[in-house]
Amino acid sequence: MFLNTGKLFAETLRYQQDLTRRLGMADIRVVHPSPRALAASDPDGTLWDSNPDLCCWHRKVEPLDGALDGFAAWITGRKRFQGGLRATLPRVEQDVDGRIKVNPLADWTESDLLRYMESHDLPQHPLKARGFRSVGCAPCSRASVPGEASRDGRWSGRSKTECGIHLSRAPVHAS
C-alpha cells in the first residue's frame, strides 16, 4: 500500500512510481484520505499548521485503518535507529486493532540500510541528497541539521514525533 496524503512532496510521488517500476510491482494500492473528511476538517488545506494531530488523523490514520480492513497482518519499515518511541521497537507486535504488525527492519542500523540499498541497486529518496533523513508530508518535513536525530526534521518545533498510524487509534478531535 502507498498512503498518498495529498500533502506529499512531488519527489516522493515520483520516487514511489520509480520503485514500483524498478521492482516490477503490480499490486500497489494507493490509499487516499476521504474527500468528505478533508472538506469538513481541512477545507483550505492548512490543518497541518493549526492542528497537525487532526491533520494526520484524517490524512493518514483513518485512510490506513480502512485500507487494512480484512488484513490479519501488515509490515512496516520502522527502525530502532529512528529513535523516540521507535528505539525499543519489537520485530513483531500486535497493534491496537488486533492485527499482527511485523517490523522486519527494526534492528537495522542506518548503515545496514544504506549497504542493502547500494548492494541491490536501489535509489535513495531524492530528498536524502538535500539533507532529509526522514520524509513525510511536505509542510511537516524539513532537512535535518547536523547532529540531529533522524526524525527531528518532522514536525519541527512541535512536541509531535509520530503521525499516529503506529499509536493508539483513539479518534483525534478538533481543539
Catalytic residues: 163
- What's the CA gap between 152 and 132, in Å, rounded? 10
- What's the CA gap between 51 and 65, in Å, rounded? 20
- What's the CA gap between 48 and 156, in Å, rounded? 12
* Grid cell digits, residue 37: 473528511
Q: Distances in Å between the alpha carbon of 164 and those of 39, 40, 68, 87, 171?
A: 21, 20, 15, 16, 10
The candidate with the shortest Cα–Cα distance to 110, out of 77, 138, 159, is 77
* Grid cell digits, residue 102: 511485523
